[in-house]
Amino acid sequence: MPRVSPSARWVGLALACGLGAAGCPDTSLPPFDGVGRTRVCTAEELLSFQTAGFVDERDDLWIAFVDVGHGDATWIRTPGIPGVDAREILIDAGNCRVGAGDCGLPPGTVPDSGDPDGVGALIDFMSRSGLPPGQRIDYLVATHPDKDHYGGVWRILDGYDVAAYVDTGIPALDQVTYQAALQKAEAEPGLTMLRPAGRTGIDASRPTSGAQTASWGRGLQVRLLSADASAAEDNNGSVVLMVEYLGVRVLMAADSQDLLDSRLAALGPEVQAQVLRTGHHGGINTSTQPLLDAVFPPGIVGLRYGIVSAGAWEGLPHPDTLARLSTTIGDARLYRTDRGDEGKSRADAAGDDHILLRVTPEGELTVCYAFPDNR
């Protein structure tokens, strides 16, 4: 078990009941009820995650799929010694509120669209979990220039000590908030720009000739499967990563749609994984059956999990895609950040369905909701 200082343990215990408005998890609920329900985090799991920044050394890999409403934000806390070889990695940062000046533009420059304050929910979650503003983020990845993914980048750069910025390299000159985020990253002293991702050596397993190999954390392998700066459509140019620790693989599909799905499926065993962070918020033309069969080959027995990041957006996730995922994975292994969002506005959809993934030093994989499932 990681060594936690007494003061950190008190901080963690305080955080355990403050992770979100829903309060402490109902640990009287069994981990599974045997009829297809997903699992709720135990108090021990929440405490271990929340104190991961305070321990002398951490052995678990933690991945938090943060509920940012309609959008994406994934926070990875890697094994290692904090401040030495442990890493804090953020893949996408949810949306921002342009009307409030959260996107790097003066308030009122662009009309507020009523999108969720995804980055606000993200920062709140990280702060409650031991990574408040002012702390270090080792890698900040913007998978592609869609605002529900990159929108919070400017505010993360403004509030945190970001060491390296990664994106696909798509110019997106018409996206004023995207350009503001890029200018912010380029102006940060000491920040390493890994852009475009496909030509910067961020793939630690197959570095570009002459490029410096990135260190993503002790024992962690991160492979860049796709990043097309010249893609005709932004979603299919997404940075797609495979994260692997102790044989457990997590495929981060960003906003992959059918064209990119086909390219990924053609990689065969390279995309086989235990966990799929599904593409494009569970849209109709993503998580196609050929990709699902490549990620979770039929006939191979093993754990299978799907994570859908979505919230209060018409048509997402699509019932047909959910049906494919359910058939391939099973309802008990399909986790979604849009639970209970029916009837909510876009602005109110974020912050109540965070999902935690853990891989222990023994290679044991678990997934749970960070709040009680009392709906």
Handedness of CA 95, 262, 368, 136 (dihedral sign): negative
Identify whether 139 is part of a domain.
yes
Identify whether 297 is part of a domain.
yes
Identify whether 42 is part of a domain.
yes
d(CA 52, CA 64): 12
pLDDT at 170: 96
> What percentage of the chain has pLDDT greater than the value 70?
85
Identify the band that residue 199 occupies on the pLDDT scale cut at 50, 70 and 90: confident
pLDDT at 280: 96
Identify whether 100 is part of a domain.
yes
Between 373 and 115, the more confident residue is 115
Identify whether 374 is part of a domain.
no
Identify whether 21 is part of a domain.
yes
**What average pLDDT does range 151-156 have in this prediction?**
96
Identify whether 95 is part of a domain.
yes
pLDDT at 92 over 90: yes
pLDDT at 16 over 90: no
**Number of structural domains in the chain:** 1
Identify the band that residue 214 occupies on the pLDDT scale cut at 50, 70 and 90: low
> What percentage of the chain has pLDDT greater than the value 90?
69
For 225-261, what is each residue's pLDDT tens digit?
999 999 999 999 999 999 999 999 999 999 999 999 9
CA angle 282, 246, 353 (to 5 degrees): 35
**What average pLDDT does range 9-34 have in this prediction?**
40
**What average pLDDT does range 213-218 have in this prediction?**
74
Identify the band that residue 203 occupies on the pLDDT scale cut at 50, 70 and 90: low
pLDDT at 25: 37
The arrangement of strands across the sheet holding 74-77 comes to 192-194, 161-167, 136-142, 88-91, 74-77, 61-65, 355-359, 365-369
pLDDT at 167: 94
For 122-145, what is each residue's pLDDT tens digit?
999 999 999 999 999 999 999 999
d(CA 26, CA 41): 9
pLDDT at 154 over 60: yes
pLDDT at 201: 61
Q: What residues make up the domain containing 71?
A: 6-369
Domain with 136 in it: what CATH number?
Answer: 3.60.15.10
Identify whether 1 is part of a domain.
no
**What average pLDDT does range 209-235 have in this prediction?**
81
Place of tokens 């220039």: 145
- Rg (alpha carbons) of the chain, rounded to whole number: 19
pLDDT at 13 over 70: no
For 309-321, what is each residue's pLDDT tens digit?
998 777 889 999 9
Residue 216's φ and ψ, nearest 5 degrees, are -100, 5
For 328-362, what is each residue's pLDDT tens digit?
999 999 999 998 888 888 878 888 899 999 999 99
